[in-house]
């Protein structure tokens, strides 16, 4: 992690720019070593301000000095790595969640019409003959009922499928490629994972998958599927591995 590396560099270089043993701070740069020492301190401070604003400078210096003379330790030195790592991981997760929330808010605003169109489509579709709706909101029609075994979430399956948007745009099709697909049932979107477990081998179902059971706000970048798209798949279950 970036900040841990910064901390490690600081711990090695702090002796170059910390106060001398009498606590007197230099006021000028008299040679190259002075300049490099000051530059390292200035660089580290800038990085701390950017990446670790919460740092307590007094405790940082105290920790360094205690480590040098191995006395008055407030914690065993063996714990330092795990404490730093746990904190940085927490900060990283918080930052990722913040970024995701910001991206979600942006997508909600930019693609609100697609989300609304999908919801309207599903609301009308669920009243059509043959359409069944699960508790999660997944809709499906049984086009052909097979007689084989049903896969579980941990199964591997072989299928043919044809995927479209609600306007009929084809975005993916093993049928068009002429090559069945194989994958784990729990390695695909939620709508597929749920739907496949309803199908005996030999079946062909048509799934109408709400955006929250598909790719939600984060489909593959620059692909044909836009954020919050409702997806339609015709799926034929050929084999359970």
Q: What is the pLDDT along the chain (241 residues), one digit of tens a residue?
A: 454 455 555 544 444 444 444 444 667 888 888 888 888 878 877 877 777 778 787 887 788 788 778 777 888 878 888 888 888 888 889 889 998 888 888 888 889 999 999 999 999 999 999 999 999 999 999 999 999 999 999 999 999 999 999 999 999 999 999 999 999 999 999 999 999 999 999 999 999 999 999 999 999 888 899 999 999 999 999 999 8
Identify the three-state secondary structure at position 234: strand
Ramachandran region, residue 23 (left: φ > 0; alpha: ψ -120 to 50; beta: rest):
left
Q: For residue 179, is it within any domain?
A: yes
Q: What are the residue numbers of the active site?
A: 161, 171-172, 189, 215, 233
In a domain, 107, yes or no: no
Q: Distance (Å, rounded) from C-alpha 30 to C-alpha 37?
A: 11
Residue 128 falls inside a structural domain? yes
| Gap between the Cα atoms of 42 and 35, Å rounded | 10
Same-domain pairing of 133 and 220 = yes
Residue where a domain stops, chosen among 17, 44, 74: 74
Q: Are residues 136 and 222 in the same domain?
A: yes
**Predicted structure pTM score:** 0.67
Q: How many domains does the chain have?
A: 2
The full length of the chain comes to 241
Q: Are residues 235 and 116 in the same domain?
A: yes
Nearest to 237 by CA among 170, 185, 171: 185
Amino acid 25: pLDDT = 62
Residues 64 and 143 in one domain: no
For residue 152, CA distances in Å to 34, 158, 174, 208 come to 68, 13, 22, 20
236 found inside a domain: yes
Q: Is there a domain that residue 188 lies in?
A: yes
Residue 40 lies in a domain: yes
Write down which residue in 50, 74, 98 finishes a domain.
Answer: 74
Any domain includes 86:
no
Q: Which residues contact 114 (CB under 8 A, 6 or more apart)?
A: 226, 227, 228, 229
**Within this chain, do residues 232 and 143 fall inside the same structural domain, yes or no?**
yes
Residues 134, 227 within the same domain? yes
What domain range includes position 45? 2-74
Residue finishing a domain among 74, 89, 120: 74
CATH number at residue 180: 3.10.50.40
119 and 171 part of one domain: yes
Residues 47 and 144 placed together within one structural domain of the fold: no
Clarify whether residues 163 and 47 are in a common domain. Answer: no
């Amino acid at each position: 992690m970036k900040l841990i590396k910064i901390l490690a560099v600081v711990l090695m270089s702090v002796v170059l720019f910390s106060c001398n043993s009498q606590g007197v701070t230099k006021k000028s740069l008299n040679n190259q070593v002075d300049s490099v020492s000051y530059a390292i301190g200035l660089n580290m401070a800038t990085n701390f301000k950017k990446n670790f604003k919460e740092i307590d400078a007094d405790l940082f210096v105290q920790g360094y000095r205690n480590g040098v003379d191995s006395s008055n330790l407030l914690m065993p030195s063996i714990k330092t790595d795990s404490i730093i790592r746990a904190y940085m991981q927490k900060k990283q997760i918080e930052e990722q969640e913040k970024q995701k929330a910001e991206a979600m808010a942006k997508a909600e605003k930019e693609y609100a019409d697609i989300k609304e169109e999908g919801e309207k489509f599903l609301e009308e579709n669920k009243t059509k003959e043959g359409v069944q709706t699960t508790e999660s909101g997944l809709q499906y029609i049984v086009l052909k009922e097979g007689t084989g075994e049903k896969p579980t979430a941990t199964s591997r399956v072989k299928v043919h499928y044809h995927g479209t948007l609600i306007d009929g745009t084809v975005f993916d099709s093993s049928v068009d490629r002429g090559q069945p697909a194989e994958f784990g049932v729990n390695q695909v979107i939620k709508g597929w994972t749920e739907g496949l477990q309803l199908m005996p081998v030999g079946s062909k179902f048509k799934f109408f998958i709400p955006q929250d059971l598909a790719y939600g706000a984060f489909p593959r970048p620059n692909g044909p599927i836009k954020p919050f798209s409702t997806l339609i798949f015709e799926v034929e279950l050929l084999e359970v591995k």
